[in-house]
Chains A and B, each alone.
Chain A
Amino acid sequence: MDLGNVAIQLLSGMTVAGYLFMVSAGMTLVFGAMRVINIAHGSFYMYAAFIVAAIVGKGTGASGMFWVALLVAPLIVAAMGTATEVTIMRRIYTKEHLTQLLATFALFYIFADVALQIWGGAFRSVQAAPVLTGQVNVLGRSFPKYNFFVMGVAVVVGVAMWLLLQRTKLGWRIRAAVEDPELLAATGTNVRLLFTTVFTIGALLAGVAGAVVAPLVSVAPGLDAGILVEAFIVAVIGGLGSIAGAAIGAIILGLFQAIGILWVPTWASAFTYIAMILVLAVRPWGLLGTPER
C-alpha cells in the first residue's frame, strides 16, 4: 500500500473528526447538563452552513466576506439556540425522554421547512478565503490546505472548551449541573439561566462546525439529518455527557472512515455504524460515559 495515500486518508479522517467533534461536543454538553438529546442539533449546523453560503455568495471572490461569515454565522445560530431554549426546550427538561425526542424531532421538521423556504433546495458551493485554498504536498500527494484549517479550528475549540469547563466559574457551574442540578440550585445558582447558557453554547458549537464545514460540502437541505446521526454516534461512542469522550469518539470515527476508504471504499460509510455497534457491545454506556443513573 502506498504511504502517501494512507497519509492522505488519515488526514481526511482527522478532518472529519474535527468537525464531528465540534458538533458532538455541543450535543453532549447539552445532554450532560440537561439530560436532553436534541434532534434539532443538526439543524443549527445546517443553518450555519447556509448562512455562510448566503454571505459569501456564489464564488464571487469576495474573500473578506468569508471571514465575516465565519464569525457571524455561529453567532446567529447561537441566538437561534437561545430562542429555542427559552420557548421550547425549558418546558421539556422534566419530561420523559420520548417526549423530549419527539419535541426536538418536531423542531427538526420546523427548522428544515423554514430553511427550505429561505434558501430553497439548490446545492450551493462556498469558496473559502484565498489564504486557505490550494493544496499542500503530503508525501508526494497533494492535500487541500483548507482541511488543516478545519483541524486547527477543532483543536482551538477543544482547548477553549477545556479552559471554559475547568478554569472558569461558569464551567464550574456547568460541571456541577451535570453532577447534581438540585444541589446547585440550592447554592443560589440561577439554574434556569445556566441551562439557557449551556444550550446557547451547544448551538454555537454546532454553528462553528457548520460554518467551517461549508467550503467542504455542497450546502443543501439534508445536511441536518446527515450530520445528526454521525454526531449521535460520536457522542454515544465517547459516552453521552463527556466532552473528552466526544473528542475520542470523533477520532475513532475518523480513523474508521479512513480505514474503510483504504480497505473497501464502497463500504466506508458502513464502518461508522460498525464502530458504534462494536463499542456499545463492549461498553453500553460509551467509552468515557457513566452507566445510566
Chain B
Amino acid sequence: MRRVGLPVALIVVLVVLSYTLPTSRLLVLENVLALALFAVATNLLLGYGGLVSFGQASFYGLGAYVVAASWAHYKTPFWVAFILAPVAGAVLALVVGALALRTRRLYFALLTLAFSQLFFTVAEKWYGFTQGDNGIFGTMIPSKLAEPQAGFLFVLAVTVIAMLILWKVTESPFGLTLRAIRENRERAEALGVNVYWHQLLAFIISGAFCALAGVLFVVHDQAAYPQLLDWTKSGDPVLVSVIGGMYTFLGPAVGALVYQYGHDLIIEYTTHWQLVLGIVLLAIVLFVPDGLAGLFSLAGWRRAGARVRSILRRQAEVG
C-alpha cells in the first residue's frame, strides 16, 4: 500500500476535530464529507471513464428519498433503508446507463441530464409519495445518529469505507481497463474489451455510491426534497471534481472541501457567490485543467504558465 500515511493522518485529524469543533462547524464538515463521496463516486465516470454524466443527482436524490419515503410510508428502520439505498441506486443506474451509454460524448451528457430532469419531475409531482415541493422532513434517522458528534463519526466512517472500496475499484484491472477506454476507445475495442459493459458497470458502481452519498445527506439534513435531483445539483460533483482535479483519486474530495469553505468564506463578504464561482471555474478550465491537484505539481504550474503565455501570444498576434 503506497501513500497510506496522508489519508490515515487525515482521518485521525477528523476524528480529533469531532471532539473539539463546535457543533455548527462540525455540521459543515459533515456536509463536505457527503459532497466528497458524491464527487469521488461521480469521478469514477468523469476522470476514470471519461464519461461526462450531468445526471448523477438522480442517484444522490434517490438515495435520500429511499430513506425519507420508506420512513414516511412504511416506518422502515433506517438501517434497512441504508442498505436498500445503494441497491436502488445501482438498479436505477443499470436502467439509465443501459440507455444512455448507447450514445456518446455530448449526447450522453445530455441524455443523463434528461433522465435526471425526469426524476426531478417525478419527485416534484408524485405528491402522494414524495410530498412534492414540500419534501419530506422528520425524525427519519436513529436518535443516536441525530447527535452531532455520533452523526459525524458515522458519516466519516461510511465515507472512508466507501472511498476505500472505490479506490480498490479504480486500481483493479477493471479500473485500469476503464482508463484505457478513456484514453483510446478504438484501441481498447480492438483489443477485445467490451466497452459497453465496462462503462455500464462503472455507471452502476457510481450510481450506487452516489445514492450512498444521498443517504449521508439525509443523516446531515434529515430531509429529502426535489431540488436534490435538479440538474444544477448534478453539476456540483462535476464542478468540484474539476476544481480539485479529476485525474487524481482524492482530487474531487479536495475540491469538495475547497468548494464548501470557499462558499462559506465568500458569502461572508459578498452576496455574489455565483459570480465568484463562475469566474473561478472559468479561470480553472481555461488555465489549469488539472484542477488544484495540478496546481500542486510543478509540471501543472509549467503547463498553466505555458497556456497563459500561448493565449497572450495569440492575443498579441490578433491585436
Interface residues of A (CB under 8 A from B): 37, 88, 91-92, 95, 97-99, 101-103, 105-110, 112-114, 116-117, 225, 229, 232-233, 236, 240, 266-267, 269-270, 272-274, 276-277, 280-281, 284-286, 292
User: Do B281 and A109 touch (CB < 8 A)?
Assistant: yes
Q: Which of B23-31, B68-76, B272-280 contacts A (4 or more CB under 8 A)?
A: B272-280
Known: A97-B52, A229-B113. A269 touches B277 (CB 8 A): no
Residue in B closest to A291 when the chains form the complex, CB atoms: B104
User: Do A88 and B282 touch (CB < 8 A)?
Assistant: yes
Docked CA distance A112–B235 (Å): 15
Closest chain A CB from B55 CB (angstroms): 11
User: Chain B contact residues (Cβ within 8 angstroms of A): what range?
Assistant: 35 or more
User: Do A292 and B104 touch (CB < 8 A)?
Assistant: yes
Docked CA distance A203–B103 (Å): 27
Known: A37-B106, A108-B278, A113-B275. A277 touches B118 (CB 8 A): yes
**For the complex, is B94 an interface residue (Cβ under 8 Å from A)?**
no
| B286 cross-chain contacts in A, Cβ below 8 A | 91-92, 103
Closest chain A CB from B215 CB (angstroms): 25
**For the complex, is B150 an interface residue (Cβ under 8 Å from A)?**
no
User: Do A229 and B285 touch (CB < 8 A)?
Assistant: no
Known: A92-B285, A101-B52, A106-B278. 14 other contacts (CB 8 A): A91-B311, A98-B46, A99-B285, A101-B54, A103-B286, A113-B278, A229-B117, A232-B114, A269-B121, A269-B125, A270-B118, A273-B114, A273-B118, A276-B111
Please provide the 5 A-B residue pairs with the shortest distance between their CB atoms, ordered closest to farther.
A109-B278, A110-B278, A273-B118, A113-B275, A106-B281
| A114 cross-chain contacts in B, Cβ below 8 A | 275
Residue in A closest to B102 when the chains form the complex, CB atoms: A284
| B231 cross-chain contacts in A, Cβ below 8 A | 225, 229
User: Do A102 and B274 touch (CB < 8 A)?
Assistant: no
Closest chain A CB from B178 CB (angstroms): 16
Docked CA distance A40–B118 (Å): 21
User: Do B114 and A270 touch (CB < 8 A)?
Assistant: no
| B238 cross-chain contacts in A, Cβ below 8 A | 98, 102
User: Do A106 and B118 touch (CB < 8 A)?
Assistant: no
| B115 cross-chain contacts in A, Cβ below 8 A | 273, 277
Residue-by-residue, is B98-137 near A (CB-CB < 8 Å gives 1, otherwise 0)? 0100111111011101110110011001000000000000
**For the complex, is B200 an interface residue (Cβ under 8 Å from A)?**
no
User: Do B278 and A285 touch (CB < 8 A)?
Assistant: no
Residue-by-residue, is B237-281 near A (CB-CB < 8 Å gives 1, otherwise 0)? 011001000000000000000000000000000001111011101
Known: A99-B289, A270-B125, A277-B114. A107 touches B272 (CB 8 A): no
Closest chain A CB from B15 CB (angstroms): 35
User: Do A97 and B121 touch (CB < 8 A)?
Assistant: no
Docked CA distance A280–B125 (Å): 24
Docked CA distance A247–B74 (Å): 47
**For the complex, is B232 an interface residue (Cβ under 8 Å from A)?**
yes
User: Do B102 and A281 touch (CB < 8 A)?
Assistant: yes
| B279 cross-chain contacts in A, Cβ below 8 A | 106, 110
Docked CA distance A175–B274 (Å): 37
User: Do A232 and B110 touch (CB < 8 A)?
Assistant: yes
Closest chain A CB from B73 CB (angstroms): 19
Q: Please list 22 pairs of residues, one from A and one from B, whose beta carbons are closer than 8 Å in the complex, sorted by A's number.
A: A37-B110, A92-B286, A95-B285, A97-B109, A99-B289, A102-B239, A105-B235, A105-B281, A106-B278, A109-B275, A110-B279, A110-B282, A112-B274, A225-B232, A232-B114, A266-B125, A267-B121, A270-B125, A273-B115, A276-B111, A280-B99, A292-B104
Residue in A closest to B124 when the chains form the complex, CB atoms: A269
Closest chain A CB from B106 CB (angstroms): 6
| B102 cross-chain contacts in A, Cβ below 8 A | 280-281, 284
| B104 cross-chain contacts in A, Cβ below 8 A | 284, 292
Closest chain B CB from A271 CB (angstroms): 9
